[in-house]
Every structure is written in structure tokens, then in C-alpha cells.
Amino acid sequence: MDLFEYQGKELLRKFEVPVPEGRVAETPEDAAEAAKGLGGKVVVKAQVQVGGRGKAGGIKLANSPEEAQQVANDILGMDIKGHVVKRVLVERAGDIKAEYYFSFLLDRSARKFLGMMSAKGGVDIEEVAETDPDAIARVHIDPLAGISDFHARRLVFGSRIDEAARKEAIAMIPKLYRAFVELDASLVEINPMVLTGEGRVMALDAKVSLDDSAAFRHPNFDDLKAAHDIPEQERFAKERGLNFIKLEGDVGIIGNGAGLVMSTLDVVKAAGGDPANFLDVGGGAGAELLASAIEVITSNPEVKSVLVNIFGGITRCDLVAEGILSALEKLDVKVPIVVRLDGTNAEQGRKMLADAPHPMLMSAETMLGAAEKAVELAHGGGR
């Protein structure tokens, strides 16, 4: 789970990482109130999970509570790269002498943690990596041995940040490391880490990603998640016990078993199409679950055709057919559904579908044939 900036900063504060004082606001009035409490100059920052907020107009300075109210009014509701701003973070603004980049992440191929630091901060690090790779200092840390002072010093001296910032940065790095490890984070990225006019070093931005698999070790995980909007379609799927992930294509996919669904995605790709989702109804799926699956998938307006690929083991194909038919009865399905049934009671299932002809329903014998048909239909081909 990727956290919002304000959530990341709240957590970092618990590990004594210096972050600017700030408050979250959901209305312009709250933002004014927050600015009043912070006194003087503030910065109002859109809380959306996308980088480049500054360039998009989602970060603005304000010199008074009235101004804070005004800029919050501009920023709240703004659409930044498809993310609508529902909250702003109002922070005490300091003057910035220099901006650096810092991160801890998991380097899977090295089986170690990786610390990265650069004097070129505040900009896209991917760009720095491409144009000036030597500007980034990299240090691996063995998770069993943990961090030592020399790691922090190698990052700080290797990145050639300003001398005035070195001492505080060296003190801050072990705190960031502790936060990274104890939170079970997969990423803690501070861009920019800044040197202020008063000579302090602070985390001005925070991008923290927590490992969902470690959620059980963190009682606050659900609270953090509650601030995130789960898309309508995903919530609906979850309520019905469906294993659903939205993708960007237009061919809706339903299958049973994660492996089969993944290969179905591959086959759709191979047939020249783009899957709209991953959806696994699981083993032993009955009619009702199938109907829910079709409902979830066809609620996505991008979907132009649906491919149902079922291999009956524990799952009985006759029950799957029953589910498809009941979904078609209940829902006003406007896109074609291509069904491939194989395995337990497949023949019976196919016969049920053939006996109840529906303009939107067709069968296919093989997985590849079904995928090709679904892709053709999604692209506006005839049937």
C-alpha cells in the first residue's frame, strides 16, 4: 500500500525523523485554521498519490491564513493526473537552501536493502539516474547485519551534499532505516530532503510504501488504508469474495484458479487484445458467484467483450453455465460474452448455454479460439 505524504510523514515523525510541522485539511476553512495554528508562511500541498504535484499546481505557498484558504480552495477538487484532491497538507514553510534525494528500498536481486542518496534532489530521480548516474550514491545493507555509521557516511559523502548538511543527514539516515525496517516498508523515499536556511536537514516530502503481506504485524494498517479510496468496482468485487484486479484493457476476463486466469491474460495478449482485469472466481465457484463476476466486469464501461474461461475440476461447468444464464437474465448485458468450458460436466454446461440462445452469448471450444473471438469482438469484429 502506498501511503499519502501526510501519512508517511506522521509515521516518520514517530521515528524522530525531522519533518515540517503540519496539519491535514479537507476544506478551505480548515486550511485557514491550520495556517493560523502554524503561524506565518505555510505551504499547501495536494494529497494525491502521484509525483510532480508541484509542476501540476498542487503545491502552493501562502503568506497568511486568508491566502491559505484561497489556495486550498484552488487545490481541493483539482484533478492531478486522474487523481482528485480530497485533502491538503498545510505545513509551516521554511526557506530552502538545497534539495537532496534520499531513499531506502528493497533490492530483490541483491537480496539486500539499498540506500540511495543524491545532491540532485527535488527532481525526477529516474532522470538523474539516466543523465548523471554518478550523482547517485548507492549503498547496500545486509538486513541481518543492519545499518552502521559507515553506511550513512558513505551515502552522505558519496552524494556530495553540502558540508553544512552532512552532520544532520548522517544522524537522520539511521532513523529512516529504522522506520523502513520496523514499518515493513518496501520503499521510504524522501525527495526532497532539504537543507534549510537555519541549517536544519528535514524530510520535505515522503513517499512510503508498506508491504501488504506484513499487514498482520501492524494494527494501524487498516486505519491507514481507510484514507484510500477503493474504486467502486474493486469494493464490489471484494464484498462478493472475488479476487479482482483492474487492468487497462477492454477484454473482461473471468476464470477459475489464479494460474488459469494468468495464462488467459497471456493468451488474450497473444491474440492481440488487452485484458480489462484479472478475476479469479476460485475453485468450486457456483452460479451466484459467476453472476456476481459478470456483474462486476460489465460495470466497467471500458469493457467491450468478456471472456469466461473455466476449467472444471471441483468447479462444475453446469453450475457455471447456470450462473452465466442467471446473470444474463438479471443484468442488461450489452457486451458479448465468449465462454469456454472444459472439464467436469463441460458437455452439460455447453448444452445448457446452447439451449438458451442469447444474442450476447457464444461458446468456443478452445482457450485460444475463445481468446481470439473475444479480442475480435472487442475490436468491433462481427461474430
Binding site for Mn ion (CB under 5 A): 191, 205
Q: Does 343 bind ligand GDP (CB under 6 A)?
A: no
168 binds, among ligand GDP, Mn ion, none (CB under 5 to 8 A by kind): none
Torsion of CA 191, 79, 93, 189, to 10 degrees: -20
- Please list the active-site residues: 101, 189
Q: Does 205 bind ligand GDP (CB under 6 A)?
A: yes
Q: Coil, helix or strand for 300?
A: coil
Residue (of 16, 187, 202) closest to 92 by Cα position: 202
Answer for which of 1, 15, 83, 122 binds ligand GDP (CB under 6 A) is: 122
Answer for which of 191, 256, 309, 344 binds ligand GDP (CB under 6 A) is: 191
54 binds, among ligand GDP, Mn ion, none (CB under 5 to 8 A by kind): ligand GDP
Q: Does 91 bind ligand GDP (CB under 6 A)?
A: yes
Answer for which of 28, 65, 192, 323 binds ligand GDP (CB under 6 A) is: 192
Q: Does 54 bind ligand GDP (CB under 6 A)?
A: yes
* Separation of alpha carbons 329 and 133, rounded Å: 60
Window of 50-58, 246-254, 300-308, 340-348 that interacts with ligand GDP by CB under 6 A = 50-58
* Separation of alpha carbons 287 and 81, rounded Å: 39
Residue (of 2, 29, 61, 37) closest to 204 by Cα position: 61
**116 vs 287, beta carbon nearer ligand GDP:** 116
Q: Coil, helix or strand for 135?
A: helix
**124 vs 347, beta carbon nearer ligand GDP:** 124
18 binds, among Mn ion, ligand GDP, none (CB under 5 to 8 A by kind): none
282 — alpha (psi -120 to 50), left (phi > 0) or beta?
left
- The answer to whether the beta carbons of residues 357 and 383 sit under 8 Å apart is no
How many residues at the interface with ligand GDP, by CB under 6 A?
Answer: 16
Q: Rounded to the nearest whole angstrom, what is the least distance from the CB of residue 28 to Mn ion in the complex?
A: 24
Residue 147 burial class via C-beta count within 10 angstroms: exposed 0-12, middle 13-18, buried 19 and up: buried
**57 vs 241, beta carbon nearer ligand GDP:** 57
